[in-house]
Structure 1
Amino acid sequence: MTMDPRILEQRDSIVDRWRTICRFASTADNLPEIHRAARWLESQLQPLFSEVGTIPVEGYGPVVYGIERGRSAKTLMLYNHYDVQHAGDEKQWIHPPYEAQIHDGVLYARGACDDKADVAGRLDSFRLWKQEHGGVLPYTVIYFADPCEEIGSPGLENVLRDHAELFRSDACLWESYLREEDGSPSIGFGCRGSLSVRISVRALKDGIHPSYGTVVRSAPLEVMKIVAGLTTDDGLVAVKGMRDLAIKASPEALRRVRRIGVPSESLRLNESTDPNPQADMDELRRRFIFEPGMSLAAYDLDSSSVRSIPPECSARVRFSLVPGMDPKQCLALIRAHVAQRNPDAVVEMIDSIEPAYSSPDSCFGQSITEAAQSAYGKPPVIYDIMTGAGPGAMFLKYLGAPIASPTGTLRPDGNMHGYNEHGAVEDFLTHANFTLTLLRELESHGFGRGDQ
């Protein structure tokens, strides 16, 4: 693994930019902090990109972007988001979440890895790459910063639709993925979608004393039975027709899946409790990438019904979708499934995100794979479909840009979205070196010539 010497020489200033962006408490609903972060980001883009601007998102902060035109017709987008999850109870943090303190070579901050390591690190990677070319780029680069990804990117579709020509891209480097537990880099292609629904039953006019439990219906129990019937005994989605919509794994994809790690021993409660629904690890790996999933978010009950049989109950359920699964089609299938089991139940959609597929075998995919091998000194683990949901389908739909999410600063124990989120300084510098390597690899694969 060869680190660009300029990264080592400039490590203090590179890390300081990472720390600075981490000091903004830029949750999507904290507009003063979001706007402060946006202004700082603009100031960092202006020396690097000939076109810098913002596009307002109604009710939220602005999209911040920079564009530097290159010689070829090809365009690479660097997608990032500068909003973060809430820090929660700050007393639970070892170090204050917005001070970006470094202890024993590790930076602690909310958003340190998700996604401010990308926001900051990619700026320096781009700067160093631009210097190599004397400021004249072989292809166009667009830097794109989303202000509200952590809450589902509301308004982003309007921005992409209304400004499709401005942001038209041939490939999109998505926010980064994590490294495997053994340190190997990983690359995720495309992304999952999601469908959240509320399933409700009202069985009685009013609540009643629990002594009537043998002669009246229980809305909570009926909702529990519906939710339980959404999956098979070993955890697969049981809604008729839903799994048939999902993309099928090719033989090559199944070979790649064998290198993927599935959480198991790290989640084991004790020796007699297996955290996985079944023991065949190859099957678990296939499911992890190519099967839709279902999780229960919450049961909602009136708090006054603790000592009675409640008249109504609802459950919030989230389905994880793989490419091929249209959320509207899935919603219709779920409604039919639920109606067959309980005609009094109502299924309402809360929100949805379409899944997106991008091929690992494209010029873009090959370049990322080779750059990861070069930067990390190990062959990358390929996820044909990223395991998380995101707005990637919008970028394919409006910009024509396939997406890939490469390894970044985050390790499996980095507490993303949790207390004490952190990333190692050395991992961050390696992350910046990887992005620099990727920009070079795309050029060597012909991206700069516009012929692939």
Structure 2
Amino acid sequence: MTDTDQHSPATDPALLEALREHVQGGLPTTIADLSALVRLPSVSWSAFDPAHVQASAEAVADLARSTGIFADDAVRIVRSAVAGETAGAEEAGRELGQPAVLAVRPARNGKPTVMLYAHHDVQPQGDDALWETPPFEPTLRGDRLYGRGASDDKAGVMTHIASLRALHAQFGDDLDLGVVLFVEGEEEFGSRSFRTFLREQKDHLAADVIVVADSDNWSVDVPSITVSLRGNVTFRATLTTLEHASHSGMFGGAAPDAMIPMVRLLASLHDDDGSVAVEGLSAYDADVPERSEAELATDAALLEGVQPVGTGPVLSRMWFQPSITVTGMDVPSVANASNTLLPNVAARVSVRVAPGQSATDAYAAVERHLRAHVPFGARLDITEVDTGDGFLVDTAGWAVREARTAMHEGWGAPAVEQGIGGSIPFVSDLAAEFPEAQILVTGVEDPDTRAHSPNESQHLGVLHRAIASETILLARLATRA
């Protein structure tokens, strides 16, 4: 995945200069609006107050109306049933997903339609003590705005809003480009109602080009087009060995508490060098740019002396090979530990699946491995299984060429085509529902964004350049023959 010099013809210089002025002039308002969104703790997980997600959706709907692109009645807040729920009246008890914002402007005079996707929900803040500033109080330090969701993905939301404002400032009511703005409310909670939403709103969502603003960039100075995504499998694994807890002094050494087989079972998932050791998980074969293990150590904040895991080129390990992470365990805390044999232990496991392998096949391989490696006859229960396929972007279409040109003009540097190790499972759903649409995966993150982690931040220079690039792209689509 390397940068390319294949571009569409350059944007008309007068139009390009006007667009840049609109973006620059709107930047203070954009940053203020982003800060207001960050103050809304829109965590979509079921254990958190859904009123905050609703307030965030209402704020995004107001922002959509502020662009001048959409008629007021063309902006809606929509909730759909969670996939698998029986369709029917809400009062019948079906579970609804979190609120999404949908705004539609039909195309005119044969112009294409573009769908702009982002999400307004955020991850939980985690341990407040690990934040240098309050997670939901946007704080500017140097070139970066800190706060949960400041980058992932409320900066993606504001990239779309600011680009549409600049587009309206340039074209006014003469704009013939079709625009669909879709801002999801539960991406961080597994997009549980996404497929229902697509089915119910398919006629409104149909587009020639889909721009997903939820990825990262090569650096704060070099943009990226994401062309591959890993899939994911997550589940809860519980091992049980005893009917109840017992005194470790009386029975320890003879009775196996659940921690012993759990540690051994989780250790079986990796080889001694840290590579995944599950038969049936595949890798994807493609060239990658060079990145040294020393650069990895810096980017990933490895402690001195800690060795990277896995084999092969560094970026291949992160983009094209499977990985398995234990993201949580239900065990007594150290502070509450007692001399007790634990009857059961649960672990949350996250599997990243190489692009090209179905998540269903990957889950089957991991389940086979776990059941074949359970020690001491412990009882294994696997629940809460979620799967999402990876994605490979077709880079041969005209929309990718237009995006390369727009990024070069917006950033002043050619875009790098990159894979990412993360997963955006709904992209494969979009591709399945709209097979003729060209999908562009862009974003506003950079290597130091720390999305999902304490001290998440958005580099404001990257935000500026991302808005400029998307505005130029939309203008090129609007004037495309």
- Distance in 2 (CA, whole Å) between partners of 1:214 and 1:36 is 55
TM-superposed deviation, 1:388: 3.3
Pair 180,327 (structure 1): closer, same or farther in 2 beyond 3 Å = closer
Pair 393,24 (structure 1): closer, same or farther in 2 beyond 3 Å = same
What are the superposed Cα offsets for residues 332-367 of structure 1, whole Å, 9 maximum, x if unpaired?
A: 222222222236442414222232332233322232
Of the three residues 209, 222, 225, the one matched with 2:261 is 222
The answer to whether the 8 A contact 1:197-1:318 is kept is yes
- Distance in 1 (CA, whole Å) between partners of 2:156 and 2:190 is 18
Partner of 1:263: 296
- Distance in 2 (CA, whole Å) between partners of 1:321 and 1:200 is 22
Aligned pair 1:403/2:435, yes or no? Answer: no
Of the three residues 188, 195, 205, the one matched with 2:226 is 188
- Distance in 2 (CA, whole Å) between partners of 1:317 and 1:99 is 31
Pair 285,396 (structure 1): closer, same or farther in 2 beyond 3 Å = same
Of the three residues 21, 30, 39, the one matched with 2:37 is 21
Partner of 1:53: 76
How many residues in Structure 1 have an aligned counterpart in Structure 2?
Answer: 434
Instruction: Please tell me the residue identity of whatever aligns with 2:259.
Output: P
Unmatched tracts of structure 1, length 5 or more? none
Query: % of aligned pairs identical?
Result: 22
The answer to whether the 8 A contact 1:74-1:139 is kept is yes
Instruction: Please tell me the residue identity of whatever aligns with 2:302.
Output: R
Pair 258,369 (structure 1): closer, same or farther in 2 beyond 3 Å = farther
Instruction: Please tell me the residue identity of whatever aligns with 2:215.
Output: Y
Aligned pair 1:364/2:399, yes or no? Answer: yes
TM-superposed deviation, 1:441: 4.3
TM-superposed deviation, 1:134: 4.3
- Distance in 2 (CA, whole Å) between partners of 1:187 and 1:97 is 29
Instruction: Please tell me the residue identity of whatever aligns with 1:333.
Output: A
Partner of 2:13: none
Partner of 1:309: 341
Aligned pair 1:109/2:147, yes or no? Answer: yes
TM-superposed deviation, 1:307: 1.3
Partner of 1:65: 102
TM-superposed deviation, 1:190: 4.7
Partner of 1:287: 317
Aligned pair 1:35/2:54, yes or no? Answer: yes
Partner of 2:474: 439
* Correspondence 1:45-444 to 2 at 5 A: 45-46=64-65, 47-50=68-71, 51-57=74-80, 58-70=95-107, 71-72=109-110, 74-90=112-128, 93-181=131-219, 183-211=221-249, 212-243=251-282, 248-250=284-286, 254=287, 256-258=288-290, 263-266=296-299, 267-270=301-304, 272-274=305-307, 276-277=308-309, 283-301=313-331, 306-342=338-374, 344-350=378-384, 351-384=386-419, 387-400=422-435, 401-408=437-444, 410-442=445-477
TM-superposed deviation, 1:5: 1.6
TM-superposed deviation, 1:167: 0.8
TM-superposed deviation, 1:143: 0.6
Pair 312,379 (structure 1): closer, same or farther in 2 beyond 3 Å = same
- Distance in 2 (CA, whole Å) between partners of 1:361 and 1:347 is 45
The answer to whether the 8 A contact 1:124-1:432 is kept is yes
Moved more, 94-103 or 13-22: 94-103
The answer to whether the 8 A contact 2:230-2:352 is kept is yes
Pair 265,43 (structure 1): closer, same or farther in 2 beyond 3 Å = closer
TM-superposed deviation, 1:380: 2.1
Unmatched tracts of structure 2, length 5 or more? 1-15, 81-94
- Distance in 2 (CA, whole Å) between partners of 1:352 and 1:56 is 22
Instruction: Please tell me the residue identity of whatever aligns with 1:404.
Output: L
Taking structure 1 as the reference length, what is the TM-score of the superposition? 0.85
What are the superposed Cα offsets for residues 376-398 of structure 1, whole Å, 9 maximum, x if unpaired?
A: 12222222455334422221222
Pair 273,67 (structure 1): closer, same or farther in 2 beyond 3 Å = same
The answer to whether the 8 A contact 1:331-1:349 is kept is no
Instruction: Please tell me the residue identity of whatever aligns with 1:240.
Output: E
Instruction: Please tell me the residue identity of whatever aligns with 1:194.
Output: N
Instruction: Please tell me the residue identity of whatever aligns with 2:321.
Output: E
Paired residue secondary structure (1:175): strand
- Distance in 2 (CA, whole Å) between partners of 1:112 and 1:225 is 39
TM-superposed deviation, 1:265: 3.0
What are the superposed Cα offsets for residues 206-236 of structure 1, whole Å, 9 maximum, x if unpaired?
A: 4444454443334322122221112222233
